[in-house]
A and B are shown apart, each in its own frame.
Chain A
Amino acid sequence: MSARPVAVIGVGQTHHKKARADVSMIGLVREAAERALADAGCDWADIDAVVLGKAPDAFEGVMQPELFLADALGGAGKPMLRVHTAGSVGGSTFIYGSHLVNAGIHERVLTVAWEKQSEGNAQWGLAGGRSGGIGAGGAFAPFIRKYIRDTDAPEYIGWMVAVKDRQNALKNPYAHLKIADISIEKVKESEMLWDPLRFLESCPSSDGACAMVVGSEAAAAAAPNPPAWVLGTAVRTELSTFPGRDATRPQAGVDCAHALYDSVGITNPREQIDVAELYVPFSWYEPMWLEGHDIAGPGEGWRMVDDGATEIEGSFPVNPSGGVLSSNPIGASGMLRMAEAALQVRGLAGEHQVEGAHVSLGQAYGGNAQYFSMAIFGSTQDAVR
């Protein structure tokens, strides 16, 4: 970025669960926001603006929830903005907030993303209120079948990703799914939902929220904990369908990745990035995004999985937090990728910390694999080597 340096100075998230019946929507977003403020050593009064993101309003049936949540997020009398880019929204909400600091408009911006899936029905919401919705898995399964056909990937690759992410989730105190006895056998024997996706290869439905405080260099210097420098951000979008579209490797995803890498001087992402948090709601999206963002060559993504490269101890760890496969409060899922990527370079990821992580990638996608938001975080402003 050419303008002012931007840092993540505070990160907070809720414990994600199937139903957080113990809290209201207000209580849910405040739980994440208060943790982020505490991490940043800030109070509500220190925040200049609030940016809120969530997936479609029909999911909970609250239209324009940013209006009723404004004062719950300390937004009275401050600029407040809502972002909506489907499943990628958490990522783009954070990115928008970072731009407000980057452009010199604000010193500290609170970004918050959330979903309370237990209060509605996402499948019904996705179908626009019509019956007969096929769900996100039904939309993505044909893309996955095409990937498998094009690359001759063995069936067990999806099972491996499902096991790896659930094992990682056991190290993340906030993760929703904790399947202590997860195994290839267990995934393989789980119910087929949308061929080739089995039940345990799919994300859960979660209630949860995530918040990030982004700040200027001065704000980072005043914060008690180490910052994650936001070295670059990129957002790209394409239409959901058009003739000749490659849904397995959407052009918007390729363009987003290259715009990001170019902006921070990354020429070999697999070598220069230490850890990635990718939006993987269905197991096969791990190898698909490794290839779709040119981290791996064609047909090499599934080989990275097969070789164990994406495990927490591997050469290119992916989703040490357990990822979307372990916690999926939809609106927050994209921000969780950014937050977890930031925690890694701050050295604050706890039990799922990747040793020596200095450069991390956060990525989120949404809609019909058509909205992309990506960011590179560094432990220092010159971390990319």
Chain B
Amino acid sequence: MTEQHDDRHVVTTTLEFPYRRSLGPVIGGFARALAEERIVGVRTQAGDVLVPPTEHDPRTGESVRDGFVDVGPAGEVQSWTWVSEPTERHPIRRPFAFALIRLDGADTALVHAVDAEAIEVMRTGLRVVPMWRAERTGRITDIECFVPAGLEG
């Protein structure tokens, strides 16, 4: 057997199936706010602020209160993991952290990328701020990443 291949002997087919997702009023409202460079949460009947918002209190199943609450934009890293060898599908091409970030005014944490430049910078309790994309479409990627507070300039 030789290792030679002839393109005429290979057919490449890509199967794909595009699913749709309707966001509903709550995640939909969160997405619309992102396009306006705002981050919003919702308040549970018990008074906790959930970010990202859900339609219900996950502990009880009760519906959340009507209306959104503005939070952040700065927040605090609650937990993190370092990605030392990013692939082309990661949000940042150089080493970075995925972090759980509790935004100011929120009682729950949001997962996002933190561009900290070096692992030594990362720590629980680190203050971070969002870097917004110039063109926003109402997706979580409208926030390009978070960076340590003071380094956003």
**Given the contacts A21-B22, A72-B55, A129 and B27 also touching, CB distance less than 8 Å:** no
Q: Would you give the 0/1 interface string for B8-34, flagging 1 where the beta carbon is closer than 8 Å to chain A?
A: 000000010101111111110000000
Cβ-neighbour of A119 out of B22, B25, B54, B59 (below 8 A): B22
Interface size class of A (residues with CB under 8 A): 20 to 34
Contact code string A16-28 (vs B, CB < 8 Å = 1, else 0): 0001111110110
| Interface residue B62 (Cβ < 8 Å from any Cβ of A) | yes
Known: A44-B62, A121-B17, A129-B17. A72 touches B23 (CB 8 A): no
With the chains together, A20 CA to B22 CA distance in Å?
A: 8
Q: Which residues of A contact B60 (CB under 8 A)?
A: 44-45, 74, 76
CA distance A119 to B15 in the complex (A): 18
8 A Cβ contacts from A55-91 to B: 60-61, 71-76
B67 at the interface (CB under 8 A from A): no
A224 contacts partner chain B, Cβ-Cβ < 8 Å: no
In the bound complex, residues from chain A placing their C-beta under 8 Å from that of B38 are none
Q: Which of B19, B25, B54, B55 contacts A120 (CB 8 A)?
A: B19
Smallest CB-CB separation from A45: which chain B residue?
B60
B86 in contact (CB, < 8 A):
no
A60–B24 contact, CB under 8 A? no
CB of A24 within 8 A of CB of B23, answer yes
Tell yes or no: A337 within 8 A of B by CB: no
CA distance A23 to B27 in the complex (A): 10
CA distance A124 to B54 in the complex (A): 30
Query: Which residue of A24, A27, A60, A73 contacts B19 across the interface (Cβ within 8 Å)?
Result: A60
Of all chain A residues, the one with the shortest Cβ separation from B21 is A119
Interface residue? A263 (CB, 8 A): no
Asked if B17 and A24 make an inter-chain contact with CB atoms under 8 angstroms apart, the answer reads no
Closest residue of B by beta carbon distance from A75: B61
Interface flags, A126-139, vs B, CB<8A=1, else 0: 00010000000000
Query: In the bound complex, what is the Cα–Cα distance between A26 and B26 (angstroms)?
Result: 11
Whether B125 is near chain A, meaning CB under 8 Å from some CB there, is: no
| Contacts A71-B56, A129-B15; A24 near B61 (Cβ below 8 A) | no
Give per-residue flags for B28-54: 1 if the beta carbon is below 8 A from chain A beta carbons, else 0.
000000000000000000000000001
- What is the minimal beta-carbon distance from B103 to any residue of chain A, in angstroms? 21
Q: Known pairs A22-B22, A27-B55; list 13 more (Cβ under 8 Å).
A: A21-B22, A23-B24, A24-B23, A24-B26, A26-B55, A27-B25, A30-B55, A30-B63, A60-B19, A71-B56, A71-B59, A119-B21, A129-B15
Interface pairs (17), CB distance under 8 Å: A19-B22, A20-B22, A21-B22, A22-B24, A23-B24, A24-B21, A26-B55, A43-B62, A71-B58, A71-B61, A74-B62, A75-B61, A76-B59, A118-B20, A119-B22, A124-B17, A129-B15
Residues of B within 8 A of A (CB): 15, 17, 19-27, 54-56, 58-63
